[in-house]
Structure formats: structure tokens, C-alpha cells
Structure 1
Amino acid sequence: MHDEFKQANEQYAARFEAGDLPTPPARKVAVVTCMDARLHPEEFLGLELGDAHVIRNAGGRVSDDAIRSLV
């Protein structure tokens, strides 16, 4: 599995073209959501690449750890 992930990452990096996007999210929003792999917050919120910071954790709770990730 490790080799599969490494190869996928190398392919992604080779075709990545969004490096010119600013680091702050375009829509000035952060989303805290559940780490459930079946969920795609960009899709269910209508977000595009660079629109928001997305923080995933167990339960999608705004914990102290999640807040520390934002400040």
C-alpha cells in the first residue's frame, strides 16, 4: 500500500497547478467536519479548491485541538 500511495502522490505533484493560489482561503472560512472517509465537505458545501481550510476530526467537534489548528 505504501508504494501505491507514494506513486499516487508523485503523479499528483507532477500535475499540480494550484501553487499560485493564496494560502488564506478565498472564502475566508474554515470547516470542521467529521473524519468519516465517505464524506466530501467540498462537495456537500459547494466549495472549490482554495475556498476553505478543512479540518477533520472524530465527531466533527470544534475541540481545543481544532481551534489551535486555526490560530
Structure 2
Amino acid sequence: MTRIDAAWLEAFDKALLHLFAIDHSDAGMDEFLLHCYSDLPPREAALAFGDDYGLDRDDALWPRPGLERQC
């Protein structure tokens, strides 16, 4: 198994933090699980991981300032 690219992992963690307020360590992701998502761009990988594991978006309850919530 090849190693995860450090730049991709950093961007993936930033996307996870922004979207779900966790990083890959908080999520308990090991190298095998990271490889399952590493073929996607970091933000898409974070969204896919969140969808696969039923994570609630960070902005679902507390929208970021300047963003209107559409109901």
C-alpha cells in the first residue's frame, strides 16, 4: 500500500475541520480508510466520508456569519 500524500492529508484535515469540526485522527481513520478516499480531491473526500459515516455538518446548526440558511 502506498503512503498518503502529506499535502492531500493536510488539505483533507482542513476540509474535515471546516465541515465537521474533526480531523482524520479524531474520526479514527487509519491508513487503509484514508486510502479509500485518497483518489478524490480533499474537500470531496471529506464530504464523502461525512456522508458515508453520517456526520453532521458543522454549519447545520450554527450557520457561518453571512450565510443564509434556506429552509
TM-score, normalised via structure 1 length: 0.22
Task: Please say which structure displays the higher CA radius of gyration.
Answer: 1
Relative to its length, the structure with more helix (as a share) is: 2
Relative to its length, the structure with more strand (as a share) is: 1
TM-score, normalised via structure 2 length: 0.22
